């Protein structure tokens, strides 16, 4: 990238393993009439000069030279002068010198794994941090397994994270092979510089994709709590209070929430009817009266349907639900009453601490129900006809 007639900016395609190749590259640019003036994390800046043969020495930056440590930097540059090295510029990775006859070579003891792979390990840790809520499971997000497995949105999130991890692992393996080669050999071909530009872009794409993934993940996690059921018409409920010939009061709330993916489908429904009554209540402490509302003749049914054609997913969802309720200190026990088991026709039936709570497990679906109705044969048949058969 040209910036005026006397300045040239090139992508800095060199990492810590490329110090010797950077020396050769700077010599090549000097022969073409471009002298290095600044080295940044992303760009190398060159100034126009007369073409000349010139040798360079590239040293790996010590941590005590990073920041505003003026004394350490001054002492470092003065020591280099005594070895016929003229300092030009530097950053947190490299210090660049004109070599005026010095026989000093790169100190490979500075190529510590933690320093060479700092960027790659940082990317991996950020991806794993973004995936942490899923890895923690129910303890962080309640019925997380059911939410994730039945949502294309979250499945895409997990899939993208897995691909990024594999991609970065591949880059780390390739870089480690190169690291071992650099530690064994003294010289490297300048021809590799062209290839390193492509490798640089691959690493930057990885950094960009990982950063976007982390931002996207944080937004997704924060929005989970806002993903509430939406109000809906009673006619859009597969099973409603009206199916049980219950008297519908003057007020009624009905909601639904549906999500699906290739692996599973999840639907949650709620139907609540009540009569809102206002009462005047006397507050003895203040000696005043105020109006208070309460629900009378209330009846409710809340149920969910989780469907999947995969046995392992059904089993995992079952234990996820049981663990979730257990965290809220609501215990479910297997129903042993043969009459109720036969009426449901299910593999397993669990009854909660509250008499009208059930988890019903079939081969291809799990139903959870919390209601004010009795689970007699007639009502169970109504439920099965609406959301099972």
329 burial class (0-12, 13-18, 19+ CB within 10 angstroms)? Answer: exposed
Q: Which residue has the higher pLDDT, 56 or 186?
A: 56
| pLDDT above 90: residue 302 | yes
- What is the reported pLDDT for 69? 62
Question: Does the pLDDT value for residue 220 go beyond 60?
Answer: no
Q: How confident is the model at residue 139 (pLDDT cuts 50, 70, 90)?
A: very low
Summarize the confidence of residues 155-180 as an average pLDDT. Answer: 83
Q: Provide the whole-model pTM.
A: 0.60
**CA neighbours within 13 Å on the CB side: how many for 312?**
2
61-80: average pLDDT = 74
Q: Which residue has the higher pLDDT, 137 or 40?
A: 40
Q: How many helices (H) and strands (E) does the chain have?
A: 11, 14
pLDDT band at 149 (very low <50, low <70, confident <90, very high): confident
Q: How confident is the model at residue 105 (pLDDT cuts 50, 70, 90)?
A: confident
**Which 3 state secondary structure label does DSSP give 354?**
coil
pLDDT at 206: 63
pLDDT of residue 204: 61
Q: Which residue in this structure is represented by tokens 């008499």?
A: 355
180 or 327, higher pLDDT: 180
Please state, in angstroms and as integers, the Cα–Cα distance from residue 209 to each residue in 148, 157, 170, 325, following that order.
Answer: 22, 12, 15, 37
The model's confidence at residue 342, banded by pLDDT at 50, 70 and 90, is: very high
Positions of E strands within the chain = 7-11, 34-39, 43-48, 56-60, 85-90, 94-99, 230-231, 251-260, 265-283, 288-307, 333-334, 348-351, 357-361, 365-371
- Name 304's Cβ contacts closer than 8 Å, sequence gap at least 6: 266, 267, 268, 269, 367, 368
Judged against a pLDDT cut of 80, whether residue 100 lies above it is answered with: yes
The better pLDDT of the pair 240, 210 is held by 240
Task: Please state, for a pLDDT cut of 90, what percent of the chain lies above it.
Answer: 33
């Amino acid at each position: 990238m040209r910036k005026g007639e006397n300045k040239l900016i090139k992508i800095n395609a060199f990492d810590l393993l490329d110090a010797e190749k950077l020396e050769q590259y700077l010599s090549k640019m000097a022969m073409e009439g471009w002298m290095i003036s600044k080295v940044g994390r992303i760009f190398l800046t060159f100034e126009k000069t007369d073409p000349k043969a010139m040798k360079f020495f590239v040293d790996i930056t010590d941590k005590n030279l990073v920041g505003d440590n003026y004394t350490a930097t001054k002492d470092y540059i003065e020591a280099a002068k005594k070895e016929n090295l003229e300092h030009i510029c530097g950053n947190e990775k490299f210090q660049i010198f004109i070599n005026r006859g010095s026989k000093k070579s790169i100190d490979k003891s500075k190529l510590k794994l933690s320093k060479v792979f700092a960027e790659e390990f940082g990317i991996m840790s950020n991806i794993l941090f973004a995936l942490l809520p899923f890895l923690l499971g129910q303890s962080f997000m309640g019925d997380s397994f059911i939410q994730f497995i039945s949502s294309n949105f979250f499945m895409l999130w997990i899939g993208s994270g897995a691909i990024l991890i594999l991609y970065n692992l591949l880059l780390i393996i390739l870089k480690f092979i190169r690291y071992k080669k650099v530690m064994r050999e003294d010289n490297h071909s300048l021809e590799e510089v062209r290839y390193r530009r492509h490798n640089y872009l691959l690493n930057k794409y990885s950094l960009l994709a990982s950063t976007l993934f982390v931002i996207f993940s944080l937004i997704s996690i924060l929005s989970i709590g806002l993903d509430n059921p939406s109000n809906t018409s009673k006619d859009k409920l597969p099973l409603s209070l009206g199916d049980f010939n219950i008297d519908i009061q003057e007020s009624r709330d009905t909601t639904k929430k549906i999500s699906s993916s290739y692996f599973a489908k999840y639907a949650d429904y709620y139907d609540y009817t009540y009569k809102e009554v206002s009462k005047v209540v006397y507050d003895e402490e203040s000696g005043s009266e105020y109006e208070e509302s309460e629900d009378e003749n209330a009846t409710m049914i809340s149920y969910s349907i989780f469907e999947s054609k995969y046995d392992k997913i059904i089993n995992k969802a079952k234990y996820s639900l049981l663990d979730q309720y257990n965290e809220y200190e609501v215990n479910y026990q297997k129903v042993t009453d043969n009459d109720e088991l036969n009426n449901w026709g299910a593999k397993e039936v669990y009854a909660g601490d509250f008499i009208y709570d059930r988890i019903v497990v079939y081969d291809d679906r799990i139903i959870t129900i919390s209601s004010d109705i009795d689970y007699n044969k007639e009502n169970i048949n109504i439920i099965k006809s609406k959301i099972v058969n």
